[in-house]
Chain A
Amino acid sequence: MSGIEKYQTMIMVKNLDYRYPNGTVALKGISLKINKGELVGIMGKNGAGKTTLIRTLNGLIKPTRGEIFINNENTNLKSIAQLSRNIGLIFQNPSHQLFANSVEDEIKFSLKNLDMSKEELQNKVNKVLKEFDLEKYRERSPLNLSGGESKKLAIASIVCRDVGILVFDEPTLGQDAREIESFINLINEERKKNKTIIIITHNIEFTYDYIPRTILMSDGQIIADGPTHHILSNDLLVNKSSLVLPQAQQISLALQDSGFKNTEKITTKNELISYITQILTNNPISEED
């Protein structure tokens, strides 16, 4: 990958406003730039405008004012079907999109409009089923899958379209630890393909550990945009977004309050573990204690 390609602007939003037909202002003066291959998290309290923002990206709702450029093309001039070739939006609830007779047909439906030959289509379906470990459910009705499997299928049915931008709305909601781990593996795989990924989430630990850039929203505006570790360590910003600091940060503050020194350097779980190990090595706890 050349340097130029790496920093190519994939999404450019300029002075975006959106007002719902009932008069509610959902987005106010949003401007942002996301480069190709970036992994970005969008956080904020409920009603902050996160979902509205991502719906404007693939044309599901048209901005009241402002412009969005995807790969240098103005979205106002494109239909949702055209935009869906570039952006895949994965919704919170998988049952909103699963309808086919079998898991295989569900994937086929997503590929239907991509001008593929029958053979290409079947090969692609086989590849996707294998990649997502859904081969064993090939003939099963999507309606009989478990929650985690349906979510996996919903993601597979978007990812299979090889879109350049993947947008996930609350992907970790209701997922167990193993499912979250498998989602992280998927994200890593897609990043290797230089996909641009946007994730809306309330899961601060997940964001802190895996997402390098975070956009914080409040009342339809972006209140912070930058490296995740800087933004999510800011008590004020975190409180304003109805979030709580990551556990490592909370423990570091508690240690500081109890008189321990140099705790401000602790930002991650590993740093916290090594700090505590150091304290315990210097002041071993005797069995009598």
Chain B
Amino acid sequence: MSLDFLNAFKFTKKKSFLHQLDPRAKLVLALIYTIIALLFNQIIPLFIIFLSLIPLIIIGKLLKQWLKSIRAMSFLILFILILNTLFISFSFAVAMIFRIYIMVSAFSLFFLTVDPNDLALSLITMKFPYEFAFSFSLAFRFVPTIAIEAQNIIDAQQSRGYEMQEKGLINQIKNLFPLLIPLIICSIRRAFNVAEALESRAFGSKKERTYYYTIKYTAKDWIFTIYLLLVLTFFIILKVQFAYMPEFFLWSLPV
């Protein structure tokens, strides 16, 4: 059992149009794509929305990492496919899979291209209290660390004969305790250590803070935001006028 797939959500510095954008513009991207994904439950419009994300992934030079994050979701996809096919229809299940892919891809674009430090700065410019912004970016920064720790815990338990695959749902849930308890304890201990380390460096001693780096919403960010708003408007109109759309928009699988 490997947790390597979590690297698919880890920020790496790259030179691309998407990386250079303001984190707030990318947050708008993630939110708008989530909203438009929720507007529809037909295959064709969701597929078009999904396709419209692919050029952004290519521009951001993120194809490899994005494919990893998509592959990592295979278990969840299977779950959605089985449940929706059983209770609604196969066609609806496929549409829901596209919806999940859109949401995960949009947020994966955000996490892959936003430096945790810039994230804190952007929250501060959005008038969030510094303590809140800092904790948020710190939590964001600790995701890969916790993934490494979780992998070490799995390895340590496997070294003493622990086996993940046990029959029955209750047994499988019980089986998570040897992994979850050490992970929670280690995370709480780390949180206390980080808090003490911050306080020993006078965190929060001054209410007014100045920043060495600042971020600005440039013309590039405005153009991108306008593009996103146009996409949102287009899909809202599409939703409102859905009955007048060509028939293939309503196409569904025969099952």
Q: Which residues of A are interface residues toward B (Cβ below 8 A)?
A: 21-22, 55, 58, 60, 80-81, 84-85, 87-91, 93, 95-99, 109-110, 112-114, 143, 157-158, 161
Contacts and interface: CB of A to CB of B under 8 A. Distances in A.
Contacts of B159: 58, 60, 80, 84, 87-91, 158
A161 B162 CA distance: 12
Contacts of A114: 161
A74 B123 CA distance: 54
Given A21-B4, A93-B152, A99-B181, A80 B160 contact: no
Interface of B: 4, 7, 149, 152-153, 155-163, 177-178, 180-182, 185-186, 189
Given A21-B4, A109-B178, A97 B161 contact: no
Contacts of A90: 159
Given A91-B152, A95-B189, A96-B149, A84 B182 contact: no
Given A55-B155, A95-B185, A110 B160 contact: yes
A80 B163 CA distance: 9
A99 B178 contact: yes
Nearest to A55: B155
A58 B186 CA distance: 24
A141 to B, nearest CB: 10
B163 A97 contact: no
A109 B181 CA distance: 14
Given A58-B159, A87-B159, A113-B162, 14 more contacts: A22-B7, A80-B158, A84-B161, A85-B161, A88-B159, A89-B156, A90-B159, A96-B149, A96-B182, A97-B156, A97-B157, A99-B178, A112-B161, A113-B163
A158 B152 contact: no
Contacts of B177: 99
Contact of B182 (A55, A99, A161): A99
B185 A84 contact: no
A46 B157 CA distance: 24
A58 B157 CA distance: 12
A206 B208 CA distance: 52
Given A21-B4, A97-B182, A98-B182, A81 B161 contact: yes
A81 B178 contact: no
A112 B157 CA distance: 12
A143 B161 contact: no
Contacts of A113: 161-163
Contacts of B152: 91, 93, 96
A89 B159 CA distance: 6
Contacts of B158: 60, 80-81, 84
Nearest to B152: A96
Interface-central residue, B155, B160, B162, B177, by most chain A CB under 10 Å: B160
A200 B162 CA distance: 23
Nearest to A109: B178
A55 B155 CA distance: 9
Contacts of B160: 84, 88, 97, 109-110, 157-158, 161
Nearest to B150: A96
B156 A91 contact: yes
Contacts of A80: 158-159
Contacts of A161: 160-161
Nearest to B189: A95
Contacts of A157: 160
Contacts of A81: 158, 161-163
A37 to B, nearest CB: 21
Contacts of B182: 95-99
A84 B155 CA distance: 11
A197 to B, nearest CB: 15
- 10 smallest beta-carbon distances between A and B, as pairs: A99-B181, A89-B159, A97-B156, A113-B161, A96-B156, A110-B160, A84-B161, A91-B156, A80-B158, A96-B153
Contacts of B7: 22
A60 B157 CA distance: 11
14 contacts: A60-B158, A81-B158, A81-B161, A84-B158, A84-B161, A95-B182, A96-B156, A99-B182, A99-B185, A109-B162, A112-B161, A158-B160, A161-B160, A161-B161
Nearest to A85: B161
A95 B181 contact: no
B161 A96 contact: no
Contacts of B162: 81, 109, 113
B149, B162, B186: which has the most chain A beta carbons within 10 Å? B162
A93 B159 CA distance: 13
Contacts of A109: 160, 162, 178
Nearest to B157: A97
Contacts of B149: 96
A55 B157 CA distance: 13
A84 B159 CA distance: 5
